Amino acid sequence: MGWSLNIGSIAGTAVRIHITFLLFLVWIFGASYAAGGADAAWSGLLFLVLIFACVLAHEFGHIFTARAFGVATPDVTLLPIGGVARLERIPEKPMEEFLIAIAGPLVNVVIAGFLLLFAGAELTSGAAAASLDNTTIPLVNRLAAVNLFLALFNMIPAFPMDGGRVLRALLSAKLGFVRATEVAASIGQGFAFLLGFVGLFYNPILIFIAIFVYLAASSEAHMVALRSVARGVPVSAATMTQIATLPPEAHIDEAVQTLLRTSQSEFPVVDAAHRPVGLLGRGDIIRALKELGPDARVSQVMTDSIPVVNRRAPLDEAVRLLQEKAAPAVAVVENDGRFLGLITTETMGELLMMRDAMPKDAKFGPWSRLARPEKAINQGPIA
Ligand SMILES: [Zn+2]
C-alpha cells in the first residue's frame, strides 16, 4: 500500500502505518488540546494509541490463524478506519477461511472479557460508544466498550468486514466457493443499501461506509469469478497473440503510428531476442510526446517491469499476477523466454462474459477440443 511507513515487524510480519493515520493522530491531539488543554490532548492520544493496539491485536488474530494454515502474511497496515492484514491468498477451504476470519473479532472479545473480569472495567449504561471521548469515564471502561464495538462492527455480514468472510465460509460448505461468494456479496450489497438509507436520515458518514461496502462486495465477487473461470485452463488459452510489439530503441513517433494502426492500448516492448522487457501504454505515449517530443525512445518512457508467465502455467497464475501487481497486462512467454502474447484484465473480462453466456453444462473454450488448437479465442482487437 502506497504512502505508508514501516515501523518495524512483529513475528515476521511488517507493521506499517499509513500516512493518513499519522495525520489522524495529530488531528486528535490538536482537537483535544483545543478542547481541554495539554492533559486532555495527551490522554486523548493515549486512548487512541491503545485503541490501535487493540486493532493490531485483532489483525494478528487473523495473521497467526492464517499462518497455521500455511498462508503467508507479509504485512499489516494501520489506517484511520482500522487495520488491513495482507494475506497472500484466501484459503478456499471453508473451515480455514471461517477460522481466519473469526479469529480477529474473537481477539477483541477476549480483550474486553479480560478488562471486564480482571481489570475492573464496567460497561456503564447503554451508550458506551457515544461516551468514548468523555474523559470522566475510566479508561478501562471505554477500552472494553471499544473492543466490544470492534467485535460487533467486524461481524457485520458484508465484505470487506470479517462477517462477510464468515458468511461466505458458512455458505461455501453447501454452495461451493464461487456461488457462496456471489450470495455473500449480494447480502453485503443489500446491507449496504440499508446502511445508506439509514444514513440519509441519521448520519451522512454511514452513506460513505455504505458505498465502500457496496464496492468491496462487487470487487470480491468479480475477483472470485475471475479466478474460477481461470481454473484448470492453461495461460495460452486466453493469450492475445495477434499483437503489435515495439523495440526499446524505437522512436515515439513509431509508437504513435502503431497506436493509430491498431486498436491496442498496451504495447509490449521486446528486445532483439524477442524477450519482453517492458510495457508502453497509450498514456505513456501521449505523455512522452508532450514532454520529450517525437524523437524520444520507447525505452525512456516504458514501464520496465512487466509480470511474466509461462504459456503452460495455469491461467489462475496470470490472474493472480494481474491482481497482486495491479499491472495492466501480463506477458506470456515460451519456455525459452520469447514473447508469445499478452493477458490483460480486458481479456479476462471477455472470458468471464463468454463463460456466463454459455449454457450451464456446455464445455467452455476451444482448448477442450482437439481439432482446434489455441488462438481461436481472443484474437480480436482489444478495446
Ligand atoms: Zn478483521
Domain boundary among 155, 176, 206: 155
Q: E strand or H helix at 26, and its extent?
A: helix 19-68
The pLDDT score that the predictor gives to residue 173 is 84
For ligand 1, the distance from its centroid to the CA atom of residue 55, given in whole angstroms, is: 8
**Number of domains making up the chain:** 3
Active-site residues: which are they? 59
Rounded to whole angstroms, the Cα distance separating 30 from 28 reads: 5
For ligand 1, the distance from its centroid to the CA atom of residue 80, given in whole angstroms, is: 14
Which class for 211: exposed (0-12), middle (13-18), buried (19 or more C-beta within 10 A)?
middle
383 residues of the chain, pLDDT tens digit each: 567 788 888 888 888 888 877 887 788 778 778 877 888 788 878 888 888 888 889 999 999 999 998 888 888 888 776 777 877 777 768 889 899 999 999 999 999 999 888 877 777 655 444 455 566 677 788 888 888 888 888 888 887 788 988 998 899 888 888 888 888 888 888 888 888 888 888 877 778 778 877 877 777 777 777 777 777 677 877 788 888 899 999 999 888 888 898 888 889 999 988 899 989 988 888 888 888 888 889 888 888 888 888 888 888 788 878 777 667 788 999 888 899 988 887 777 777 777 667 665 555 555 444 434 444 344 334 44
For ligand 1, the distance from its centroid to the CA atom of residue 152, given in whole angstroms, is: 11
Does residue 376 fall inside a structural domain?
A: no
The pLDDT score that the predictor gives to residue 200 is 86
The pLDDT score that the predictor gives to residue 133 is 57
Domain boundary among 229, 261, 288: 229
Domain boundary among 105, 135, 155: 155
For ligand 1, the distance from its centroid to the CA atom of residue 133, given in whole angstroms, is: 24
Whether residue 148 sits in one domain with residue 177: no
Query: Rounded to an integer, what is the distance from CA 215 to the centroid of its chain?
Result: 11
For ligand 1, the distance from its centroid to the CA atom of residue 52, given in whole angstroms, is: 13
The pLDDT score that the predictor gives to residue 124 is 66
The pLDDT score that the predictor gives to residue 3 is 73
- Location of C-alpha cell 516492448: 269
For ligand 1, the distance from its centroid to the CA atom of residue 105, given in whole angstroms, is: 6
Does residue 19 fall inside a structural domain?
A: yes
Does residue 347 fall inside a structural domain?
A: yes
The pLDDT score that the predictor gives to residue 105 is 93
Whether residue 138 sits in one domain with residue 65: yes
For ligand 1, the distance from its centroid to the CA atom of residue 278, given in whole angstroms, is: 37
CB 180 within 8 A of CB 168: yes
The pLDDT score that the predictor gives to residue 64 is 92
For ligand 1, the distance from its centroid to the CA atom of residue 104, given in whole angstroms, is: 5
Amino acid at 67: R
For ligand 1, the distance from its centroid to the CA atom of residue 103, given in whole angstroms, is: 8
The pLDDT score that the predictor gives to residue 37 is 80
Half-sphere exposure of 31 (CA within 13 A, CB side): 10
For ligand 1, the distance from its centroid to the CA atom of residue 346, given in whole angstroms, is: 32
Does residue 318 fall inside a structural domain?
A: yes
For ligand 1, the distance from its centroid to the CA atom of residue 171, given in whole angstroms, is: 19
**N- to C-terminal Cα distance for the chain?**
29
Instruction: Give the three cell numbers for residue 19.
Output: 500516512
The pLDDT score that the predictor gives to residue 226 is 77
Rounded to whole angstroms, the Cα distance separating 166 from 160 reads: 11
Rounded to whole angstroms, the Cα distance separating 298 from 249 reads: 6
Rounded to whole angstroms, the Cα distance separating 298 from 7 reads: 38
- Are β-strands 266-270 and 82-86 bridged in parallel, bridged antiparallel, or unpaired? unpaired
Does residue 341 fall inside a structural domain?
A: yes
Does residue 382 fall inside a structural domain?
A: no
Whether residue 148 sits in one domain with residue 13: yes
Whether residue 151 sits in one domain with residue 7: yes
Rounded to whole angstroms, the Cα distance separating 232 from 245 reads: 29
Q: Which domain range does residue 64 map to? A: 1-155
Whether residue 139 sits in one domain with residue 79: yes
Edge-to-edge strand list for the sheet holding 308-310: 308-310, 329-333, 339-344
The pLDDT score that the predictor gives to residue 363 is 54
Does residue 50 fall inside a structural domain?
A: yes
Query: What pTM did the predictor assign?
Result: 0.64
Rounded to whole angstroms, the Cα distance separating 250 from 267 reads: 12
